[in-house]
Structure 1
Amino acid sequence: MALKDDGVGLGLRRSLLGSLQAAPVGTFDFLEAAPENWMGVGGALGDAFAALAGRQPLVCHGLSLSLGGPAELDDTFLHKLRRFLDAHDIAIYSEHLSACGDSHGQLYDLLPLPFTGEAVAHVAARIRRAQDVLGRRIAVENISYYAAPFQAMAEIDFVNAVLAEADCDLLLDVNNIVVNATNHGYDAAGFLRALPSARIRYIHVAGHRDEAPDLKIDTHGAAVSDPVWALLAEAYRCHGRRPTLLERDFNFPPFAELIDELSTVRRHLAEADRAGRHVA
């Protein structure tokens, strides 16, 4: 099922399962799941997943493909993933523009890639290979990072080069731009405006933790901050409305508070729609 440009979504987390199942139709427009957490799951949990997937569009956000890593892509996993995506009519599959493993296995963290031409060629070739096996385009997410070794080019140039060479899409994480712009001293709005509108499939917003005036930590465990809301509004102005997901991975508030944050996303989408009609 396709996503609407003004659709708002939540993460399909097991701790939210009861609330998601009980929510009236229209509370949210789509859900996002990590396929690694649901592939092969049966019983009551598998039935609940299938029921939710049949009720509204579902996107999948991968955790373990390690698109930028040194080890060979796991073809067995990719073929299993394709069957899963096809079986549940997944609207979009996304992954992180990062490495999360080495030749010995998973590292269980998202590691930044060197911003070099060699890294562009390496990760773009792996994205193209994954897209061929999956039979669909991948949307890669701009990640947050704290160390930045081997920067032969700016982050924005690296991201854009990968998108062009791989001919893939972008999962735009607005919070990650705010975090990186603060931690690495660049202009968040300038970075946002330099991204290619045509490649943006959907958007993430999330909370972070302020450690110091010049240090933010990406947590997905707090409410969305004012700078992130402001940059989300700017994203709609620059690139048009896109389906937008509220990410929350732990420290969950009452479900009603998450729905209030979704209402804020809807408000920004509506304001962008009115502005668009006014311009036209």
Structure 2
Amino acid sequence: MTTPLPTASAGLGLRRALLDDLLDAPAGSFDFLECAPDNWIGVGGRYGEALHALSSRHPLTCHGLSLSLGGMAPLDDTFLARTRRFLDQHGVSLYSEHLSYCSDDGHLYDLMPIPFTEEAVHHVAARIRQAQDALGRRIAVENVSYYAAPYQAMAEADFIRAVLDEADCDLLLDVNNIFVNAINHGYDARAFLARMPSARIASYHIAGHYDEADDLKVDTHGAPVKDDVWSLLSLAYEQHGVRPTLLERDFNFPPLAELSAEVQRIRHVQIAHASASVRTTHG
């Protein structure tokens, strides 16, 4: 039995380097945890016990890494079945994957961008529907950061909307990825955000990035969230509504108190927009 997350909730990524801190975290440090099932399926011993302890105390969401929804090789039915068991075992209400691909006769180094074409829309949407059928649930796909842009017959926003419509799936809107891509590829982040379909947004991600140059940002998940990204998150709440929001941090971990402070900042932004919505409704 899964229970949907409260709309106004703020989570933190479950990383092995943080396990001890998460187990000892004071009550209220975060509302939910997110893990990549790819890294935890079949894990036993101390790590497996820690995962079960955390998922018994806190709601768990999952963000996949290796379905390769945009790839050409058939989806891995065995992996999908194992993922479904993992999601059911831990009562996961939200499962997401990347709108990208990561394999081609073997696993690739990174998440690779998909050409923005009608053909790719049909290909990816069919694979998302197949994955949803195998997993027995709706999934959300995430807009990804990319640096080399393959053939683009459509704008990125049009491509994302077309995939969501044809696959009938949800969107995990990564606000940092919007900011990074807007700088790197020269488009307006606010205009892109406005084009995202509110009704399909299941949750948000925010993260830190590295400023390589004024016109080159690298999506590292290894630093505090930048002020410009906080501002874009606030605008996302204003335009599309408050949703569960995850702070991603993958390395360069500070003390948990610093991560919890960023989680608390998410809550403050959510509360501000929830209060504004109430004032607008009853004003």
* TM-score when normalising by structure 1: 0.98
After TM superposition, list the pairs within 5 Å mapping 1:38-187 onto structure 2: 38-102=40-104, 104-187=105-188
> What is the identity, as a one-letter code, of the residue corresponding to 2:201?
I
Single out whichever of 40-49 and 153-162 deviates more from structure 2. Answer: 40-49
Q: For residues 215 and 108 of structure 2, what CA distance do their matches in structure 1 show?
A: 27
Instruction: For residues 157-208 of structure 1, give each alpha carbon's deviation from its aligned partner in whole angstroms, at most 9, with x where no partner exists.
Output: 0000000000000011000000000111111011111111111111100000
**Structure 1 unmatched runs, 5+:** none
> What is the identity, as a one-letter code, of the residue corresponding to 2:71?
G
Question: Is residue 223 from structure 1 mapped to residue 224 from structure 2 by the alignment?
Answer: yes
Question: Is residue 193 from structure 1 mapped to residue 194 from structure 2 by the alignment?
Answer: yes
Q: For residues 212 and 40 of structure 2, what CA distance do their matches in structure 1 show?
A: 34
Instruction: For residues 122-154 of structure 1, give each alpha carbon's deviation from its aligned partner in whole angstroms, at most 9, with x where no partner exists.
Output: 000000000000000110000000111210010
Q: For residues 195 and 261 of structure 1, what CA distance do their matches in structure 2 show?
A: 25
Count of matched residue pairs: 279
Instruction: For residues 25-70 of structure 1, give each alpha carbon's deviation from its aligned partner in whole angstroms, at most 9, with x where no partner exists.
Output: 2211000000011100112211110111111210000010000001
Q: For residues 250 and 160 of structure 2, what CA distance do their matches in structure 1 show?
A: 25
> What is the identity, as a one-letter code, of the residue corresponding to 1:137?
R
Structure 1 counterpart of 2:203: 202
Instruction: For residues 77-122 of structure 1, give each alpha carbon's deviation from its aligned partner in whole angstroms, at most 9, with x where no partner exists.
Output: 10111111111111111000001001x1111310000000000000
Question: Is residue 232 from structure 1 mapped to residue 223 from structure 2 by the alignment?
Answer: no
CA RMSD, Structure 1 to Structure 2 (Å): 0.7
Q: For residues 176 and 250 of structure 2, what CA distance do their matches in structure 1 show?
A: 14
Q: CA deviation at 1:257?
A: 0.8
Q: For residues 55 and 266 of structure 2, what CA distance do their matches in structure 1 show?
A: 22
Q: CA deviation at 1:213?
A: 1.0
Q: For residues 194 and 233 of structure 1, what CA distance do their matches in structure 2 show?
A: 16
Structure 1 counterpart of 2:35: 33
Structure 2 counterpart of 1:7: 9
**Structure 2 unmatched runs, 5+:** none
Q: For residues 54 and 191 of structure 1, what CA distance do their matches in structure 2 show?
A: 38
> What is the identity, as a one-letter code, of the residue corresponding to 2:188?
D
Secondary structure at the counterpart of residue 216 of structure 1: strand
Q: CA deviation at 1:7?
A: 0.6
Structure 2 counterpart of 1:252: 253
- Residue 23 of structure 1 is aligned with which of 11, 22, 25? 25
Moved over 4 A (4+): none
Identity, % of aligned positions: 66
Q: For residues 71 and 137 of structure 1, what CA distance do their matches in structure 2 show?
A: 22
Q: CA deviation at 1:224?
A: 0.2
